[in-house]
Structure 1
Amino acid sequence: MRYQARGKYYEELEVGDIYEHRPGRTMTEFDNTLWTLSSLNMQPLHLDRHFAEETEFGERLMNSMFTLSVVVGAQVTDLTMGTTVANLGFEEISFPRPVFVGDTVYSETEIIDKRTSESRDDSGIVTFEHRGINQDGETVCSCTRVALMKHAPDAADLQT
């Protein structure tokens, strides 16, 4: 029998379930510089060591949009690979602690709500809470994401 990697269909996602996504991602100077330059975010707090040393942080911070992308991206293979129709929105994004070069960020996702779609009979709407946690167990990023998720084509597809 041949199996194809996929995320979870709407029917497989239960409110209250929490998924830990591994491995974590150790943030590097290369990540920070590449993301910052690619996104045209020229904030010196990400690029200029001497500038950053004079701030309250004392060193460069990882670009928060990179951190958010890593936290959300880590869930794809576990939850949404090939089963998401579309992202409908991101809400309540927060960065309660800074992330520095060398920190490792682990991700987890909680299913916080789900409902059938009123306009599409092939999918449902799921609300995810994604959290990024550093190597010290501190939350460094969280966001709420609403996505349109495919219904399973039939019960046999839930087995493969």
Structure 2
Amino acid sequence: MAGLWFEEFAAFEKPLAKSLMTLGTMIRVSVNETTLGTTFAYLGMSNVTFPAPVFQGDTLRIRTTVESCRQCGSRPEAWIVNFLHNARNQNGVLVTARKHVARVRRRTAA
């Protein structure tokens, strides 16, 4: 079978996953694992990078780190939390990173 017509122009030997699909996957996993049901407001996203390509069929692992948190000045029942999210492929290579800020519910004393 002859190769695809665009293969001679491709920068990589395997089909790439779209960057927005990779970012969307990271957001979906991180929201479900960290803030689902606790978020008052999504305050922003920054520093989105794609340092390495993601290929179709790659396995991604997403790690979330809380960089800082503080009590919200206007809502005492909430915290402002700064997150750092990193996605690595099956070889441990960093493929996507982003920061985001959210206003989340403060846990009440039991």
Structure 1: tracts of 5 or more residues without a match? 1-48
Q: Tell me if 1:95 matches 2:95.
A: no
TM-score, normalisation: structure 1: 0.62
**Contact 1:114–1:127 (8 Å) recurs in 2:** yes
Q: Aligned partner of 1:130: which letter? A: H
More helix by share: 1
Change in Cα spacing, 1:122 to 1:50, as seen in structure 2 (3 Å) is farther
- State the shift of 1:52 in Å: 5.9
Match of 1:111 in 2: 66
Q: 1:78 aligns with which of 18, 23, 33?
A: 33
TM-score, normalisation: structure 2: 0.87
Instruction: Measure the CA separation in 2 of the matches of 1:116 and 1:102.
Output: 41
Identity %: 36
Match of 1:155 in 2: 109
- Aligned CA RMSD, in angstroms, stands at 1.6
**Contact 2:87–2:96 (8 Å) recurs in 1:** yes
SS at match of 1:155: coil
SS at match of 1:104: coil
Structure 2: tracts of 5 or more residues without a match? none
- State the shift of 1:78 in Å: 2.6
Change in Cα spacing, 1:88 to 1:60, as seen in structure 2 (3 Å) is same
Change in Cα spacing, 1:139 to 1:88, as seen in structure 2 (3 Å) is same
**How many matched pairs?**
107
**Contact 1:132–1:142 (8 Å) recurs in 2:** yes
**Contact 1:53–1:59 (8 Å) recurs in 2:** no
